[in-house]
């Protein structure tokens, strides 16, 4: 029982860590900014989903593949696919937002609430 969990979590750790590691290599070798990293990994995840490959990564790595922003890209694509199946042409427009609804809405909501309460602090280092 315990060793099953351990292996499961090790896989999550390895896959998630590896995706972030690629990001760090990009930071170290190019002048990539936060926005570009996020966009790059989201598009990469979306591309793998379109090619039908991302699901294998999710099967193997679980949250290691869904927590990184590339998982967000794959959710967007999945949403679009489902919407097209259901509504046809209109699904092209509606699909993305329906897939990403939770991610975007939650971030905007928390951002709004916390911005009303908290203040930005000076960095110490």
Task: Give least dist CB 60 to other proteins, A.
Answer: 13
63-102: which residues touch other proteins (CB under 8 A)? 63-64, 66-73, 76-77, 79-81, 83-85, 88-89, 91-93, 95-97, 99-100, 102
Return the sign of the alpha-carbon dihedral for residues 55, 57, 62, 65.
negative
> Which residue in 4, 56, 59, 108 binds other proteins (CB under 8 A)?
108
> Which residue in 24, 55, 59, 60 binds other proteins (CB under 8 A)?
24
Specify whether the CB–CB gap between 8 and 62 falls below 8 A: yes
2 or 119: whose CB is closer to other proteins? 119
Task: Give least dist CB 56 to other proteins, A.
Answer: 17
């Amino acid at each position: 029982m315990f060793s099953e969990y351990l292996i499961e979590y090790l896989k999550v750790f390895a896959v998630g860590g590896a995706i972030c590691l690629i990001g760090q290599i990009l930071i170290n070798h190019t002048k990539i900014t936060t926005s570009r990293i996020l966009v790059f990994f989201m598009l990469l995840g979306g591309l793998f989903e379109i090619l039908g490959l991302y699901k294998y990564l999710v099967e193997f790595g679980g949250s290691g593949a869904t927590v990184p922003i590339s998982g967000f890209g794959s959710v967007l694509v999945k949403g679009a696919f489902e919407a097209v199946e259901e509504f046809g042409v209109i699904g092209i427009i509606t699909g993305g937002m329906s897939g990403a609804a939770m991610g975007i809405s939650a971030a905007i909501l928390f951002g709004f609430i916390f911005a009303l309460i908290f203040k930005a602090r000076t960095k110490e280092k």
